[in-house]
Amino acid sequence: MEWTTLRDFAIALLIGALVGTERESHKRKEDHESSSGLRTFILLAMAGAVSSWLGSRTGTPWIFIAALIAAAGILMGNYIMSARIRPDALGLTTEAAALCVCLLGGMTMLGYPGLAVGLGIVTAAVLAYKEPMHGLVSKLGRDDIYAGLRLLIASFIVLPLIPNKTIDPWNAINPYTLWLLVILISALSLVGYVATRWLGPGRGTALTGLTGGLVSSTAVTLSFARGGREARGRYSGDTFAVGIMIAWAVMFLRVVVEVAVVYLPLVSKLLIPFVAMSLAGLIAGVYFYRKSIGEREGLEKASRDVPLKNPFSLTKAATFGLFFAVILLAVKIVEGRFSSQGLYMVSILAGLTDVDAITLSLAGFARSGGDQSTAVQAITMAALANTFVKCGFVVALSSRDLKRRVLPATIAIALAGILALFLF
């Protein structure tokens, strides 16, 4: 017998053992004596592997199909008997997992052992992380589910229908690319939003800054600026500064990810100034965190009060798309008629309100043959302009203690970005 055949049989049995171990642990924890356990899953994986191997050897795929039908019948009979004994413990999770294991056992013998192992690990993880997954779903409201469905509709139904060609005289606006980048920004924001809902915004200012920075560093800054004004504590300014600095640092890294998606070669030049600014923010955050240890009064409430709403709606997506189109046209016109100074001015003005649109526009400008150094400098200026605007919110809304911390940190971030931009 060939070595690969023995290896594939071993992989099939290990997949059954992996998922069966999790089910055996669950059975003992819940005291379900009639539920399928370790041995059942190993045998089902073996049944799938042997029937698939025999079918491929004899050229008769019906052997595997018959084994699958027999396994499904046995599992359904077991489910019916269990439901009669314990009608309060209804659920098809174990039976569905067992059927998946039988199919995965067959996959290993059909030449896809690597994919079967990966799917086996996913199956075991889905079973093991029952409580966290249910906890996440329980924290999602109906509006969150609707927003997720709208994002899927925008990605997989609307996007393929949009024409993939420029529609303006300057060849700047491609509706397909425009909508694709809108989806990218919404997806990045959605990651931070889901993380905040899963972990809970009341876990502390640092964690809220980390996850909230993906959704909106401006929202985090505004909330913590108001919290710093209302809090009463010796180290409250330090603690709120931690959340603000981390949110800003995440924003800088988010810009790098956006550029990497649009035009990867630009990242090598953009990485140095933006990593420098992100590190400056993180260092400031660590410094403030060390000073704030021990202060907890009112901080969890401030974290919970961060107004992070689900980032995707069709109205917001359309608004961002229109703003993005205007920025694209401005960059294209300035590129053709003015010098790089005009492009810098557009970047600064756009960065005062939103850094994502100008970042994506300048990445597209570099991809279409524009000067990469000019694009990097303009993106850096937009990010710095956005940072100074958020610093202005802190100065206008927060307490004196928080102002005294955020202002020097903002200057340090700006100096780090400018020095890295021109020295490297």
What is the DSSP track for 77-114? HHHHHHHHH-GGG---HHHHHHHHHHHHHHHHHTT-HH
The DSSP string of 363-391 is: HHHHHTT--HHHHHHHHHHHHHHHHHHHH
Look at residue 174 in the predicted model and tell me its pLDDT: 83
Tokens 């020095």 found at: 419
The greatest distance separating any two alpha carbons of the chain, rounded to the nearest whole angstrom, comes to: 81
pLDDT, tens digit (0-9, with 9 covering 90-100), for 21-59 = 988 887 776 655 556 678 889 999 999 999 999 998 888
Alpha-carbon distance of 83 to 88, in angstroms, equals 8
Alpha-carbon distance of 12 to 43, in angstroms, equals 10
Identity of residue 202: G
Which of 11, 15, 32, 12 has its CA nearest to residue 94?
Answer: 32
pLDDT, tens digit (0-9, with 9 covering 90-100), for 355-399 = 888 999 899 889 888 889 999 999 999 999 999 999 998 998 888
Look at residue 30 in the predicted model and tell me its pLDDT: 62
- Residue pair 8/108 in contact by the 8 Å Cβ criterion: yes
- Residue pair 263/366 in contact by the 8 Å Cβ criterion: yes
Look at residue 297 in the predicted model and tell me its pLDDT: 45
Domain boundaries, the chain: 3-128, 139-423
Residue 65 is encoded by which pair of tokens? 């199909």
Q: DSSP assignment, residue 295?
A: -
| First and final C-alpha spacing in the chain | 60
Alpha-carbon distance of 147 to 288, in angstroms, equals 36
- Residue pair 316/185 in contact by the 8 Å Cβ criterion: no
Look at residue 168 in the predicted model and tell me its pLDDT: 74
Residue 199 is encoded by which pair of tokens? 């972990």
Alpha-carbon distance of 275 to 376, in angstroms, equals 13
The DSSP string of 53-77 is: HHHHHHT-THHHHHHHHHHHHHHHH
Contacts for 193 with CB less than 8 Å, ≥ 6 apart: 211, 214, 215, 308, 309, 310, 311
Which of 123, 98, 3, 5 has its CA nearest to residue 47?
Answer: 98
Alpha-carbon distance of 265 to 5, in angstroms, equals 44
Alpha-carbon distance of 173 to 329, in angstroms, equals 7
Alpha-carbon distance of 347 to 358, in angstroms, equals 6
Residues in the chain: 424
Alpha-carbon distance of 412 to 65, in angstroms, equals 66
Alpha-carbon distance of 399 to 380, in angstroms, equals 29
Look at residue 87 in the predicted model and tell me its pLDDT: 65
Q: From the centroid of its chain, how far is CA 339? A: 38
Alpha-carbon distance of 118 to 80, in angstroms, equals 31
pLDDT, tens digit (0-9, with 9 covering 90-100), for 400-421 = 888 999 999 999 999 999 999 8
- Residue pair 361/324 in contact by the 8 Å Cβ criterion: yes
Look at residue 299 in the predicted model and tell me its pLDDT: 47
Alpha-carbon distance of 199 to 74, in angstroms, equals 40
Contacts for 79 with CB less than 8 Å, ≥ 6 apart: 92, 95
Alpha-carbon distance of 174 to 352, in angstroms, equals 25
Q: For the chain, list residues with pLDDT below 70.
A: 1, 29-36, 86-91, 172, 188-189, 191-205, 228-236, 293-314, 335-340, 424
pTM of the model: 0.66
